[in-house]
Amino acid sequence: MRKYNYTFSLIAIILSALMLIGAFYFPFIQSTFSVDFPDWIPNWFDLHYELEKWIIKKGKIPVGNQYLLGIIKSLFENGSIFFGVIIFLFSVVFPVLKIVLCALALIPFHNTNSSRHHTIIKAIGYISKWSMADVFIVAVIIVMFKAKGFNFEFTAGRGIYCYTASALLSSLSILLIMHHVDEQKGLPD
């Protein structure tokens, strides 16, 4: 691998790993909820606030900082096993697997002609086909948090930016690794 391709790919995969850790550590989404009560409902004894709390509790409306792993956990707890598994696979397992495989492909101590290296490169090729699923998962999570009829708002947290950066950096690393593999095979750019 050309020295600059190797260096850029290594930097990209290290940054991708750090950004993925950030995606799990920082809030993914901050959400707020409020109800606009009609004028005919009096606000005696802070009734509006108490009704809002009751609606949030009974409706199980996620309010506050929402973390990626917490979102997945709540899907399982609410019986959405299929979505929980899909989001776990595409937002946790595949990104971690991409980073690990890229790191293994970049270890300078291995023989690039070994069957193990070819297996790793083949696996990277398969995993890279699922790269856009990372972005799709972010979109699904955003859509899930939209509610109509109430003042339910969310803003992207640092976690979602870290996750996006991780997906882009791991894709860059895969691109550089696969470019090197094509160069070794003698394929044109």
Distance CA 145, CA 84 (A): 15
Percent of the chain with pLDDT over 70: 79
Q: How confident is the model at residue 148 (pLDDT cuts 50, 70, 90)?
A: very low
Please state, in angstroms and as integers, the Cα–Cα distance from residue 159 to each residue in 69, 78, 133, 178, following that order.
11, 23, 17, 28
Average the pLDDT over 25-29 and give the result. Answer: 89
Query: In whole angstroms, what is the distance from residue 147 CA to residue 38 CA?
Result: 20
CB 127 within 8 A of CB 143: no
Rounded to whole angstroms, the Cα distance separating 120 from 112 reads 10
What is the DSSP annotation of 114-179? Answer: SHHHHHHHHHHHHHHTTTHHHHHHHHHHHHHT--SSSEEEEEE-HHHHHHHHHHHHHHHHHHHHHH
CATH topology of domain 3-30+66-185: Butyryl-CoA Dehydrogenase, subunit A; domain 3 (1.20.140)
C-beta atoms surrounding 1 within 10 Å: 19
**Segment 82-95 mean pLDDT:** 86
Please state the domain extents for the chain: 3-30+66-185
Mean pLDDT taken over the chain: 78
pLDDT for 16 equals 92
Show Cβ contacts of residue 132 under 8 Å, excluding neighbours closer than 6 positions: none
* pTM: predicted TM-score of the whole model, two decimal places: 0.75
pLDDT class of 123 with cuts at 50, 70, 90 = confident
* Beta-sheet pairing, 151-156 with 64-66: unpaired
